[in-house]
């Protein structure tokens, strides 16, 4: 267990903060842009671990006093990440699948050193927020360029397709809007305007991509944002920001061509569903194939419920189902089931489904239980953190978002960054005398000790500085 009284050298804090910032800056604005920042975070996390192994003489005692002690929630997160990897590896070995099917699963294992490293350093949150804003603005600019100059109907940025581009842009844009609200409430108008513009750029990228799965995440994000921000004394800046978002949406849907394309896809989903349910239409729409693939999965899963089907085994089984007329032949042309949970259940069995659900639910709850903190920044971080597993769960209903390198890397790195940020902020807030009315005891294990003295816990007003 890492010590709470010593910390790695200060340069490692700068390394991890800069690496996280680079990750968000390049996520949607460069080919495989997520790889560089994630790799640097991995190297930094391993360096932090090696520093801890070498002992306190290689650490920075002055920095470490403010770090949150390793808690039950930290251990649970790491164990769940390990569990997802172990079940994936076991399924691949059991089925004799190719090594490439370990690719996404291995990311969960590699995320553990990143979590460790980020939890052990003091993050420069302002660097990460600034890079997030620039990366989200860049996504909007790229979407504009690909639509206006490359004449693409649906921009995909520099990721695999328009779907993950739109989903990730939505998530980053929402976080920018939350940061803009926090800055506006604290009276930091320049930051608020810049972050608001970045958030609007992200929402433009989402609409331009015409990603329908993102519509499912919007109500969840709205509820989480309302819980975190809605206070009577905050109404004026929130109403101003909300009005700006509404004006932007009206302009996009009523004036810009991308709005009309998105609108046709959104409304067309219902038409396509009716065509499938009434006529069995599969080949000439996008909803029918998904529903037919889900039917094939539901038929197959009960036959091998524990560790599921190997990929080659399922391909042969699917052809048998087609031959006897149980599913439409068009399903054989699809690369997957277009549902993250069914895909895992099908190829990793119930063990795989339980592991990924445990990770999503546990991480959501760990963030969501902090949504009623008296500290504004803590609530904003909790909202952003809770929106990550919630939105990816909804994205996964219509696509295998965690089966893509860009999707799984964004999810895991963001989970590590937001978790480290909220734990650090929590300790800073308690150390300054604040405690949430939302909990009877601090969320760390045992008593909170700062500088070898027990802290008296009491409620304070929102008085701490903005992260921006």
Across 94-103, 243-252, 309-318, 411-420, least confident range? 243-252
Alpha-carbon gap, residue 379 to 89, rounded angstroms: 37
Residue 270 domain flag? no
Helix (H) or strand (E) holding 454: strand 453-454
Whether residue 66 contacts residue 451, with contact meaning beta carbons closer than 8 Å, is answered with no
Alpha-carbon gap, residue 79 to 85, rounded angstroms: 10
Residue 16's nearest CA partner among 108, 110, 120 is 120
Alpha-carbon gap, residue 233 to 286, rounded angstroms: 46
Residue 323 domain flag? no
Residue 316 domain flag? no
pLDDT band of residue 7 (cuts 50, 70, 90) is low
Residue 315 domain flag? no
Q: Which residue has the tokens 């500085």?
A: 465
Alpha-carbon gap, residue 33 to 159, rounded angstroms: 9
Whether residue 155 contacts residue 208, with contact meaning beta carbons closer than 8 Å, is answered with yes
Fill in the DSSP letter of residue 256.
Answer: S
Cα Dmax for the chain? 73
Residue 233 domain flag? yes
Residue 76 domain flag? yes
Which residue range(s) make up the domain with 254? 10-259+340-454
Show the DSSP H helices in 162-310 as ranges. 162-185, 189-209, 213-229, 235-254, 257-279, 287-300
Residue 397 domain flag? yes
71-128 per-position pLDDT tens digit: 899 999 999 999 999 999 999 999 999 988 999 899 999 999 999 999 999 999 999 9
Mean pLDDT, the chain, whole residue set: 84
Q: Is the pLDDT of residue 370 over 50?
A: yes
Q: Is the pLDDT of residue 445 over 50?
A: no
Alpha-carbon gap, residue 198 to 456, rounded angstroms: 40
Question: Can you give the pTM of this predicted structure?
Answer: 0.87
Alpha-carbon gap, residue 388 to 392, rounded angstroms: 6
pLDDT at position 461 is 35
pLDDT at position 254 is 66
Whether residue 282 contacts residue 330, with contact meaning beta carbons closer than 8 Å, is answered with yes
Residue 178 domain flag? yes
Number of domains in the chain: 1
Tokens of 14: 């700068």
Alpha-carbon gap, residue 422 to 377, rounded angstroms: 9
Cα 434 to Cα 5, 219, 237, 307, 424, distances in angstroms? 20, 31, 25, 47, 14
Q: Is the pLDDT of residue 444 over 70?
A: no
130-158 per-position pLDDT tens digit: 999 999 999 999 999 998 888 888 888 88
Kindly state the average pLDDT of the residues 359-371.
97
pLDDT at position 436 is 38
């Amino acid at each position: 267990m890492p010590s709470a009284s010593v910390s790695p050298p200060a340069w490692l804090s700068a390394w991890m903060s800069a690496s996280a910032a680079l990750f968000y800056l390049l996520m949607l604005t460069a080919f495989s842009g997520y790889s560089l920042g994630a790799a640097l975070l991995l190297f930094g996390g391993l360096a932090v671990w090696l520093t801890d192994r070498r002992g306190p003489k290689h650490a920075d005692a002055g920095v470490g006093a403010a770090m949150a002690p390793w808690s039950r929630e930290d251990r649970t997160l790491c164990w769940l990440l390990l569990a997802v990897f172990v079940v994936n590896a076991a399924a691949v070995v059991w089925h004799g699948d190719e090594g490439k099917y370990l690719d996404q699963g291995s990311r969960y294992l590699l995320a553990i050193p990143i979590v460790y490293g980020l939890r052990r350093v003091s993050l420069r949150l302002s660097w990460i927020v600034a890079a997030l804003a620039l990366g989200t603005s860049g996504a909007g600019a790229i979407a504009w360029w690909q639509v206006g100059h490359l004449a693409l109907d649906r921009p995909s940025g520099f990721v695999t397709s328009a779907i993950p581009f739109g989903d990730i842009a939505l998530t980053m844009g929402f976080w920018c809007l939350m940061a803009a609200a926090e800055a506006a409430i604290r009276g930091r108008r320049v930051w608020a305007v810049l972050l608001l513009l970045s958030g609007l750029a992200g929402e433009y990228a989402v609409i331009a991509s015409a990603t329908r799965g993102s519509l499912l995440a919007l109500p969840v994000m709205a509820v989480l944002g309302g819980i975190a921000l809605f206070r009577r004394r905050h109404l004026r800046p929130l109403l101003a920001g909300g009005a700006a978002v509404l004006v932007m949406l009206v302009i996009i849907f009523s004036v810009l061509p991308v709005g009309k394309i998105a609108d046709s896809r959104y409304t067309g989903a219902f038409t396509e569903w009716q065509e499938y349910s009434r006529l069995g239409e599969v080949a000439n729409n996008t909803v029918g194939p998904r529903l037919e693939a889900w039917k094939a999965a539901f038929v197959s899963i009960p036959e091998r419920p524990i560790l599921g089907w190997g990929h080659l085994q399922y391909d042969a089984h699917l052809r048998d189902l087609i031959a006897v007329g149980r599913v439409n032949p068009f399903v054989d042309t699809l690369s997957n089931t277009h549902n993250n949970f069914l895909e895992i259940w099908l190829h990793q069995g119930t063990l795989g489904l339980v592991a990924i659900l445990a990770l999503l639910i546990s991480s959501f709850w760990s963030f969501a239980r902090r949504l009623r903190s008296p500290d504004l920044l803590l609530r904003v971080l909790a909202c952003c953190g809770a929106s990550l597993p919630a939105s990816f769960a909804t994205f996964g209903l219509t696509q295998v978002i965690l089966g893509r390198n860009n999707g799984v890397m964004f999810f895991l790195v963001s989970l590590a960054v937001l978790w480290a940020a909220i734990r650090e902020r929590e300790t800073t807030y308690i150390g300054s005398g604040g405690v949430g009315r939302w909990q009877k005891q601090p969320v760390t294990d045992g008593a909170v000790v700062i500088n070898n003295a027990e802290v008296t816990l009491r409620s304070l007003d929102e008085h701490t500085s903005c992260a921006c």
